[in-house]
């Protein structure tokens, strides 16, 4: 019963995301037997490619996996290319005919997944025509998978959602946040709710503060056109960081199913404090990278305006007013061109009384979830310093996935596509969550827009550092410090 029968229709089939993420993910599902005989893929985009050329592209996108040559050939034979103009109604007719034929040939039982891996400005049109031209009129399921960015602010996200939901109901809409597909992000719930030694102390009596760091060493790369209109707040905080925060502070769901998990996440978002402009100034810091060793400043990157005021770094303090976590500062931080690539979560516990040990202070008590590239969990504890005196020293207890285990971890896209095939939306973002997260982000963005900083405010951090000094000061003024 493992095999999933379905037709994938990928809009943006020639694109970067499809080649870097989707085709390798589909191939992994194929290797593991989730996709077998009964699947087919139609790739669409404007370019006039042949099936043969398309299959070559698919093959080369999974070429690193050389040991599987015969499998790769067999796999690639399930791919079909259809040149397509998303605004041209007739093209959907051609698409429908091909889809129906493949449905017959491969025995797909009318199951269809439409993957929208292109500019969101086309999402509405595509969904409309899929419906009006009868592509969704099948005996099986019809689901749509949507890539980010889902809107630019609350108003545009709502407009986009209103359009899509005219044609696809919420249950059939799968909004991707690839962080939710990461092994260690999915581990948050297991850790929190599978260990009484943690669940008992996961509250504002015991936790001093929470720190979420999504640090990147890469710069903006070739995505300047998009990034300069987005910035770090929209690119990383609105989606990935707020989703992680929700998993960290939400109450225990009644069950591990989409409905119950979403309920808890939405409650958390509702309890997230939306800041006034004065509060934004107190609680949020932004930065933009200047040059560093062998690295150019953000403003000198291609497709970036020389006087761009877009932030490539954000640090902030969040508050969630739900009973267990009320008053616990949640510090978040993300940026490009920082010292290193590291996604990690540090839970910092309150300090114990140190008088027994001569009042010399105790080291931080923390639980760290290392998401990537380091994968594992660390506890830092105070233990007795070896020797005659009665003093303490910091000790680290760590669990690391072995290389072998890491190799077995399904990639985020592989996991999420399988979830979508199975109709399981537990790891996708519900519209209600988006609604709140955009309102939170809009308040910050609007406050910043009113601030009217001088052009020379940026750059304010050098490539290869951990961001502007103000990020450290944000914690220092509450008597805290970044653990990482």
State the minimum distance, in angstroms, from the CB of residue 423 to ligand BG6.
Answer: 24
Binding mask 315-354 for ligand BG6 (x = CB under 6 A): ----------------------------x-----------
Residue 365's DSSP bridge partners are: 349
Residue of 237, 243, 204, 208 lying closest to 367 (CA atoms): 208
171 annotated ligand binder: no
State the minimum distance, in angstroms, from the CB of residue 217 to ligand BG6.
Answer: 10
- Planar angle of CA 259, 260, 262, nearest 5 degrees: 70
182 annotated ligand binder: yes
Residues of span 8-67 touching ligand BG6 by CB under 6 A: none
| Cβ proximity to ligand BG6, 135 vs 417, nearer residue | 417
Q: What DSSP letter does each residue of 227-279 carry, written as one string?
A: HHHHHHIIIIIIIIIHHHHHHHHSPPPSSSSHHHHHHHHHHHHHTBPPPPHHH
| Cβ proximity to ligand BG6, 275 vs 413, nearer residue | 413
216 annotated ligand binder: yes
| Cβ proximity to ligand BG6, 135 vs 420, nearer residue | 420
State the minimum distance, in angstroms, from the CB of residue 8 to ligand BG6.
Answer: 21
Active site residue 129: no
| Cβ proximity to ligand BG6, 216 vs 414, nearer residue | 216
148 annotated ligand binder: yes
Q: Report the C-alpha gap between 133 and 100 in whole angstroms.
A: 12
320: DSSP letter: B
Q: Does 235 bind ligand BG6 (CB under 6 A)?
A: yes
Contact 382, 251 (CB under 8 A): no
Binding mask 247-276 for ligand BG6 (x = CB under 6 A): ------------------------------
Q: Report the C-alpha gap between 335 and 287 in whole angstroms.
A: 8
| Residue nearest ligand BG6, CB atom distance | 235
| Cβ proximity to ligand BG6, 103 vs 216, nearer residue | 216
Contact 144, 172 (CB under 8 A): yes
Side-chain-side CA neighbours of 461 within 13 Å: the count stands at: 26
| Cβ proximity to ligand BG6, 131 vs 148, nearer residue | 148
State the minimum distance, in angstroms, from the CB of residue 193 to ligand BG6.
Answer: 25
Count of residues that interact with ligand BG6, criterion CB under 6 A: 4
| Interaxial angle between packed helices 258-270 and 242-249, expressed in degrees from 0 to 180 and rounded to the nearest 10 | 100
Considering the candidates 78, 240, 430, 480, report the single residue annotated as catalytic: 240
Task: Output b/e per residue, 399-428; b: 16+ Cβ within 10 A.
Answer: eebeeeeeeeebbbbbbbbbbbbeeebbbb
Backbone angles phi, psi at 383, to 5 degrees: -125, 170
Binding mask 155-194 for ligand BG6 (x = CB under 6 A): -----------------------x----------------
**Which stretches does DSSP call E strand in 107-251?**
112-116, 142-146, 173-175, 207-215
Q: Does 216 bind ligand BG6 (CB under 6 A)?
A: yes
336 annotated ligand binder: yes
Q: Report the C-alpha gap between 476 and 484 in whole angstroms.
A: 14
Residues that bind ligand BG6 (CB under 6 A): 178, 216, 235, 343
Catalytic residues: 240
User: Residue positions in the annotated binding site for substrate?
Assistant: 178, 182, 216, 235, 336, 341
User: Residue positions in the annotated binding site for NADP(+)?
Assistant: 46, 148
User: Residue positions in the annotated binding site?
Assistant: 46, 148, 178, 182, 216, 235, 336, 341
């Amino acid at each position: 019963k493992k095999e999933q029968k379905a037709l994938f229709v990928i809009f943006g089939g020639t694109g970067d995301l499809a080649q870097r993420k989707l085709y390798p993910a589909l191939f992994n599902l194929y290797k593991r037997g989730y996709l077998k005989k009964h699947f087919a893929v139609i790739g669409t985009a404007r370019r006039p490619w042949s099936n043969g050329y398309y299959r070559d592209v698919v093959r080369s996108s999974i070429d690193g996996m050389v040991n599987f040559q015969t499998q790769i050939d067999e796999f690639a034979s399930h791919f079909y290319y259809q040149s397509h103009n998303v605004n041209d109604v007739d093209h959907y007719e051609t698409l429908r005919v091909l889809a129906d034929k493949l449905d017959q040939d491969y025995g797909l039982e009318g199951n269809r997944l439409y993957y929208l891996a292109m500019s969101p400005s086309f999402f509405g049109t595509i969904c409309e025509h899929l419906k009006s031209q009868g592509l969704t009129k099948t005996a099986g399921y019809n689901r749509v998978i949507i890539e980010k960015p889902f809107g630019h602010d609350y108003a545009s996200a709502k407009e986009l959602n209103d359009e899509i939901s005219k044609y696809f109901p919420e249950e059939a809409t799968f909004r991707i946040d690839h962080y939710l597909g990461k092994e260690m992000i999915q581990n948050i719930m297991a850790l929190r709710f599978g260990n009484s030694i943690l669940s008992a102390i996961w509250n504002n009596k015991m936790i001093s503060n929470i720190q979420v760091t999504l640090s990147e060493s890469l710069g903006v790369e070739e995505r300047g056109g998009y990034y300069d209109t987005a910035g770090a707040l929209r690119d990383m905080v609105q989606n990935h960081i707020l989703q992680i925060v929700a998993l960290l502070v939400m109450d225990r769901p009644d069950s591990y199913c989409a409905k119950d998990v979403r309920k808890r996440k939405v409650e958390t978002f509702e309890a997230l404090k939306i800041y006034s402009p004065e509060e934004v100034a107190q609680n949020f810091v932004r930065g933009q990278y200047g040059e560093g060793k062998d690295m150019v400043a953000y403003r000198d990157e291609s497709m970036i305006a020389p006087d761009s005021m877009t932030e490539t770094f954000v640090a902030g303090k969040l508050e969630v007013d739900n009973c267990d976590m009320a008053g616990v500062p949640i510090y978040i931080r993300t940026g490009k061109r920082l010292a290193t690539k590291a996604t990690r979560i540090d839970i910092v516990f309150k300090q114990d009384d140190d008088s027994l040990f001569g009042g010399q202070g105790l080291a931080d008590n923390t639980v760290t979830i290392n998401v990537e590239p380091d994968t594992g969990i660390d506890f830092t504890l105070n233990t007795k310093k070896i020797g005659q005196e009665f003093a303490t020293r910091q000790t680290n207890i760590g669990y690391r996935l072995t290389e072998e285990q890491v190799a077995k971890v399904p990639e985020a896209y592989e996991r999420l596509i399988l979830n979508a095939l199975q109709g399981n939306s537990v790891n996708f973002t519900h519209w209600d969550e988006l609604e709140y997260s955009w309102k939170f982000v809009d308040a910050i963005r609007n406050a910043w827009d009113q601030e009217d900083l001088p052009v020379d405010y940026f750059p304010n951090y050098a490539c290869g550092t951990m961001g502007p000094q103000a990020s450290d000061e944000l914690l220092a003024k509450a008597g805290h410090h970044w653990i990482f």
